[in-house]
Chains A and B, each alone.
Chain A
């Protein structure tokens, strides 16, 4: 699976949009971009995934660049409960996902 690069930490003000970047320059044509988050002492929670089109659900939006070498997860109105480690993972969807270090998002009141 392709490797991803994320900033180790980010801060965001409550109520503002949180934009979490991810680089995956070696992504293959059949690999999806997945986003999960992990709140302290819990299992990872699925957020969203996409192949090449932008995606939106009730939790977030996923913007994938045209060359698919990077993506951005957008939490439109961050709340304190969004404080977590966010993982960007690339994979084919057939095997286990390989987790990197993720981005620790701290939402500030």
Chain B
């Protein structure tokens, strides 16, 4: 089946630094990818929709200047957490829909960010 891969799986950074998370669709092209965030013992919350070649669409309450999304190719979207703070510590998960095949939404393995 379709595979979505994220990197890194875990990252620890100091407060004030920026962290980039990559999301790749390995065997299909994804014009749209979705970024979710999950805090401990909570469900996944949609942060933004990443559109190839255009600006991302952010959900209400998500700061676009803090969470920079770039979708420069049909197989890669990146999420950059700028000036990270401890409250940004979370599990970030990307997903992509394989429109060319079954249309199902596949998820990456997730990236756990810890900000010290």
Contacts and interface: CB of A to CB of B under 8 A. Distances in A.
The answer to whether A and B belong to the same complex is yes
Interface of A: 34, 36, 38, 41-46, 49, 87, 93, 95-102
A93 B36 CA distance: 17
Nearest to B4: A43
Nearest to A95: B49
Q: Which bracket fits the contact residues of B?
A: 20 to 34
Contacts, number: 46
Interface in B71-116: 91, 93, 95, 97, 103-110, 112
5 contacts: A41-B91, A43-B109, A87-B43, A97-B95, A98-B46
Interface centre among A44, A96, A98, A102 (most CB of B within 10 A): A96
Contact of B110 (A34, A43, A95, A99): A43
A99 B34 contact: no
A99 B44 CA distance: 6
